[in-house]
């Protein structure tokens, strides 16, 4: 068997991690023959809760788990890791402005970025899940300059999955037969969900849906506001669906994508589609197995251009808010 993959998970006692750790340990993410070492980071006050999760992991007797390390120190959690799943972040409180949340979380990701640059494995890949994930990723990356830019991701796969689910429910076509939706921009209420290049059952999505008003209205609104809808319905934020999206993201970058298919991920912009270089923005992205590439040459209609611009403007404002944390 190959060497184990070392996977760091932050916020490891939280709801998302609880839905994430067991599938990783069982082989559902890195493969049924790939051993794993879990390196779990939490803040000191909830280390006892994390130990409860670890007890359950041990009680599952997963044959692929070589070791489970728990710590409240980033330098320990990130040592020699191949994948860092940065799930933990301070949640938004009632009445709190988004910019204040960004400022609260910023120092956390400064420290984590520095620790990753110092002790992680040379093949490190980082997925930021904790919100606001795009700008948290920007901060961590700015404080880990030795880690190549193509190793950084913020998660918009949950938005991507939500868009597929809405198309599936609208058309009655199973999610597995829906391809190439795109999430552009920020993981926030300004994201732009684009179906212009999507297919449903092999046919153009707009043709199958047959309702442009729904696409521009209810569809886009639902994808943007789904998280708030879930909080309203269950009294808690998305957890299981976020964990599944994180697993989907990782798997999407472990193997080459099928021809002419892509996923959505927030990556370091290279200037494609006039999105400023260096921003962490969501694009259509295709895995090559050894790396990844932004899908090029897609035509954007006026609605897409306007939607993307609005989301990028928000990201630029967020970057200005944390400019002092970017080194």
Give 185's DSSP letter: B
> Per the residue annotation, which of 160, 187, 197, 249 is the catalytic one?
187
Residues 87/49, Cβ–Cβ less than 8 Å: no
Residue 243, φ and ψ in degrees, nearest 5: -65, -45
Nearest to 89 by CA among 144, 31, 39, 41: 41
Strand partners, 68: 38
- Paired sense of beta strands 292-294 and 280-287, if any: antiparallel
Known catalytic residue at 197: no
Buried b (16+ CB within 10 A) or exposed e, 246-280: bbbbbbbbeeebeeeebbbbbbbbeebbebeebbb
Angle at 315 between CA 269 and CA 77, to 5 degrees: 75
| Residues belonging to the active site | 187
């Amino acid at each position: 068997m190959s060497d184990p993959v070392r996977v760091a998970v932050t916020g490891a006692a939280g709801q998302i991690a609880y839905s994430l750790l067991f599938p990783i340990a069982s082989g559902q993410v890195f493969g049924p023959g790939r051993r794993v070492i879990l390196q779990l980071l939490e803040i000191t006050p909830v280390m006892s809760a994390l130990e409860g999760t670890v007890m359950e992991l041990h009680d599952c007797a997963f044959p692929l788990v070589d070791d489970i390390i728990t710590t409240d120190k980033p330098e320990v959690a990130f040592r020699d890791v191949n994948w860092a799943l940065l799930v933990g972040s301070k949640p938004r409180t009632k009445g709190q402005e988004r910019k204040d949340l960004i400022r609260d979380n910023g120092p956390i990701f400064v420290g984590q970025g520095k620790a990753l640059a110092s002790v992680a494995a040379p093949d490190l890949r980082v997925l930021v899940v904790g919100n606001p994930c795009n700008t948290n990723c920007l901060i961590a990356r700015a404080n880990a300059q030795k880690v190549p830019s193509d190793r950084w991701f913020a998660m918009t796969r949950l938005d991507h999955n939500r868009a597929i689910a809405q198309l599936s429910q609208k058309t009655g076509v199973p999610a597995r037969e829906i391809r190439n939706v795109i999430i552009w921009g920020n993981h926030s209420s300004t994201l732009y969900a684009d179906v212009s290049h999507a297919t449903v059952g092999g046919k153009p999505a707009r043709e199958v849906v047959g309702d442009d008003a729904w696409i521009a209205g209810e569809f886009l609104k639902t994808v943007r506001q789904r998280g708030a809808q879930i909080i309203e319905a269950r009294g808690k934020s998305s957890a299981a669906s976020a964990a599944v999206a994180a697993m989907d993201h990782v798997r999407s970058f472990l193997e080459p994508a099928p021809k002419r298919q892509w996923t959505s991920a927030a990556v370091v912009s290279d200037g494609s589609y006039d999105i400023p270089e260096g921003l962490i923005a969501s694009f259509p992205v295709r895995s090559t197995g050894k790396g990844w590439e932004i899908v090029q040459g897609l035509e954007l209609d006026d609605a897409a251009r306007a939607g993307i611009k609005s989301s990028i403007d928000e990201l630029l404002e967020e970057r200005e808010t944390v400019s002092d944390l970017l080194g």
